[in-house]
Amino acid sequence: MNTLLKTSGILILILLSSCRSKTQEDQHSRVPISTVTREIDQEEEISSTDSISVIPIEHASFMMRLKDQVIYVDPVGKVQAYQDLAKPSLVLITDIHGDHFSPELLEEIIDQHTTLLLPRAAYDQMPMAIRNQAKVIGNQQDTLISGIHIEAIPMYNIRDEAQSFHPKGRGNGYVLEADGKRIYISGDTEDIPEMRALKAIDIAFVCMNLPYTMTVGQAADAVLDFKPKRVYPYHYKGTDGFSDVEQFKSTVEAADPNISVQLLAWYPED
């Protein structure tokens, strides 16, 4: 692991915007946000398995190392949260809402070697200055970037009252495959058949917050169906507070001891 991950005393200042886009503010209730200063603790905040390491930033934003590549997933917040991290070779964007997509921040944190992979709806809101680094991918399409095979998986709401949050076809979840490992990133989704149909997933990042995604019970039931080897609950703060990820962990591991649930500090202020 490089000197970045060995260094204690990394200060992160995050201002996380709510789960809503500029064009859909009337549809999304504002999730409480916070300004956070914290020191990353290597034991708690960095999770490693084989050649994969994960650094949570907050809510839906994290950094991952895979196949010697630095990947940012849905980076949002203040630039200070990223200034001590390695520059990304790849940025994955799942959707247009403010807790997943910040065009202004992207201009600050990428360099000329970064590839941006994102759905069409997000690309259409990209600054012209960095559009030439962006590649559009739609549901059930795939691509190969720096030796990583990436497939875009649907993410959407099923409940009638929630379909305006994440209509089918607009946003992407992702499955990344490299070095014999398959990693699933759910994005904002409910308990959809496309998630349950996943096969041979080694690591899964699974959301669970209402009213935007799914309940703890739905998430646990889906995970027990597609059986990833390791699960990271993330994106679990909703309008009424936090989902019970401890309950998620106990439910999943009691039903299937072969699935390991890893709880990281996605909301450091709490």
Top pLDDT among 93 and 4 is at 93
Q: Tell me: the pLDDT tens digits for 133-167?
A: 999 999 999 999 999 999 999 999 987 776 778 89
In this structure, which amino acid lies at residue 13?
L
Cβ within 8 Å of residue 180, ≥6 positions away: none
C-alpha 205: how far from chain center: 7
Distance in angstroms (rounded) separating the CA atoms of residues 143 and 59: 26
Does 17 fall in a domain?
Answer: yes
Domain count within the chain: 1
Q: Tell me: the pLDDT tens digits for 174-229?
A: 999 999 999 999 999 999 999 999 999 999 999 999 889 999 999 999 999 999 99
Q: What is the pLDDT of residue 167?
A: 93
Look up the pTM and report it.
Answer: 0.83
What phi and psi values does residue 162 have, to the nearest 5 degrees? -115, -5
CATH classification at residue 165: 3.60.15.10
Does 268 fall in a domain?
Answer: no
Cβ within 8 Å of residue 88, ≥6 positions away: 63, 70, 71, 72, 75, 109, 110, 114
Distance in angstroms (rounded) separating the CA atoms of residues 268 and 270: 5
Does 267 fall in a domain?
Answer: no
The number of helix segments (H) and strand segments (E) in the chain equals 7, 18
Domain that includes residue 190, residue range = 3-261
- Strands of 32-147 (E only): list them: 35-39, 47-49, 52-58, 61-66, 69-73, 90-92, 115-118, 134-136, 142-145
Q: What is the pLDDT of residue 239?
A: 86
Does 234 fall in a domain?
Answer: yes
Q: Tell me: the pLDDT tens digits for 33-87?
A: 333 333 333 333 456 666 799 999 999 999 999 988 999 999 999 999 999 999 9
Q: What is the pLDDT of residue 10?
A: 34
Q: What is the pLDDT of residue 49?
A: 62
Does 269 fall in a domain?
Answer: no
Q: Which residue has the tokens 């703890």?
A: 216
In this predicted structure, the answer to whether residue 241 has a pLDDT above a threshold of 60 is: yes
Greatest distance between any 2 Cα atoms in the chain: 50
